Structure 1
Amino acid sequence: MTAHAPKIKSVVAAFLLSLPLCPGGPALAQAGSEKSDGLLERLAEAEDAVTAGRIEREIRLEWSKSGSAAMDLLLKRGRDALEVNEVGRAIDHLTALTDHAPAFAEGWHALALAYYTDERFGPAVYALERTLALNPNHFGALRGLGAVFDQLEKPALAFDAYSRAAALRPHDEDIDAALERLNRAARGMSL
């Protein structure tokens, strides 16, 4: 059985490496589709938390489509591993995803969450920056940056990231509370 394991790994690796060249593969997945852009506009104008939550779920669903069944499976496996607190396994799956689909913003975002869960803040910030380079409207990545900077006691940076997330994603009580708490520390006290 061990004699076949390296061969199987080689076949799987070759398959995954060929995917970005396939029509409809992850290289063609776009963060800013017309549908997600329209949903972002509706989210910014949402009048209540229920409506905002529904629209946000639609956006996250759109962002989770890589254009490749294999890459979508790696994303699912990484997220599933995070749900059961198997962070190392999640990082393995999500690193494979970002290696094979580096233009897929949601893969980077999921990897950032795994790093944050493992309290590896430097790699988390790097992955969040990659997410935002690919999808500047990724409110989850902005919220994640706010959380990391808050954890690292960098209130001005946390405030800025949370503010940018709040502009895209209204009706988030956690962001509102963080902004209120950080306002004095980030902006300084006025006399």
Structure 2
Amino acid sequence: MIRTLCLCLVLSAGPAVAQDACPAVPDHAAEMAQAISHMQRAQSAAEAQRSASALWSYWLDAPDSHAQALLDAGMTRRDLGDFAGAIGFFDDLVNYCPAYAEGYNQRALSYFLQRDFAASLVDLDRALDLLPNHVAALSGKALTLFGLGRDAEGQATLRAAVAMNPWLQERRLLDEPPGTDI
């Protein structure tokens, strides 16, 4: 009995040991820059959406299958309204892969949906430190700043996001620049 228990513990420890080090985050920098350039030149929202979808495919490309499973499980839990469960998976993801921006971005969204704007902002800042051209994190940061009542910072952040994607839906939240009203 004890021998079987010990064997089970050793076998169950195997995968955890194998998952100690997160591999390098996939390098999609060139593809992301091209997608952003296409969004900036897009002639329609549909055209820009194709590039935005490409960006999401790069952002959601986790470093390995373990990280992908954590990301997918967290997103599923959040979609089901289980924010605590989602945050638990995203905590595991950022602990395992601290250089993977999307772990922070997804956890930030979970915090945002709970209206915990302060926690969301911390994660968005970390995601943007890792991936400054993450348009969704930048737009999420703008919304979070609005939620914190920091409207001037939110406007500046949203303008930076709209500069990358002029078709961004959140652009409707921009104040008119001074001197443009009639």
TM exceeds 0.5? yes
Question: Partners in 2 of 1:148 and 1:59 — Cα distance?
Answer: 21
8 A contact 1:145–1:158 mirrored in 2: yes
User: Which residue in 1 is equivalent to 2:65?
Assistant: 69
Q: CA deviation at 1:98?
A: 0.5
Moved segments of 4+, more than 2 Å: 6-16, 27-30
Residue identity (%):
22
The answer for the alignment partner of 1:29 in structure 2 is 26
Match of 1:45 among 26, 29, 41: 41
Write out per-residue CA displacement over residues 65-113 of structure 1, whole angstroms, 9 at most, x where no aligned residue: 1231110111111111111111011000011001000111111110110
Q: Which amino acid is 2:91 matched to?
A: T
Counterpart contact for 1:29–1:103, Cα < 8 Å: no
SS in 1 for 2:174: helix
Aligned equivalent of 1:86: 82
- Corresponding position: 1:14 with 2:17: yes
In structure 2, what is the Cα distance between the partners aligned to 1:9 and 1:179?
52
**Structure 1 CA distance, aligned partners of 2:60 and 2:15?**
22
Residue aligning to 2:172: 177
Contact 1:29 1:104 in 2 (8 A): no
User: How many pairs are equivalent?
Assistant: 174
- For the residue of structure 2 that corresponds to 1:17, the secondary structure is coil
TM-score (norm 2): 0.86
- C-alpha deviations, 1:101-134, integer Å up to 9, x for none? 0111111110110111122222211110111001
Task: Tell me whether 8-17 or 118-127 shows the greater mean CA deviation.
Answer: 8-17
In angstroms, what is the RMSD of aligned CA positions?
A: 2.4
Q: Which residue of 2 aligns with 1:56?
A: 52
1:133 equivalent in alignment to 2:137 = no
Tell me the distance in 2 between the aligned counterparts of 1:14 and 1:123.
30
1:10-45: CA deviation from partner (whole Å, max 9, x where unpaired): 555433214x2xxxx2x2433x52112211111111
* Aligned partner letter, 1:29: P
Q: Deviations over 1:146-165 (max 9, x none)?
A: 11111111110110111111
Structure 2 gaps, min length 5:
none
AA of the residue aligned to 1:69: S
- The amino acid that maps onto 1:176 is R
Q: Does 1:117 align with 2:113?
A: yes
- The structure with the larger Rg is 2
What pairs up with 1:95-114 in 2 under 5 angstroms? 95-114=91-110
Residue 152 of structure 2 is aligned to residue 153 of structure 1: no
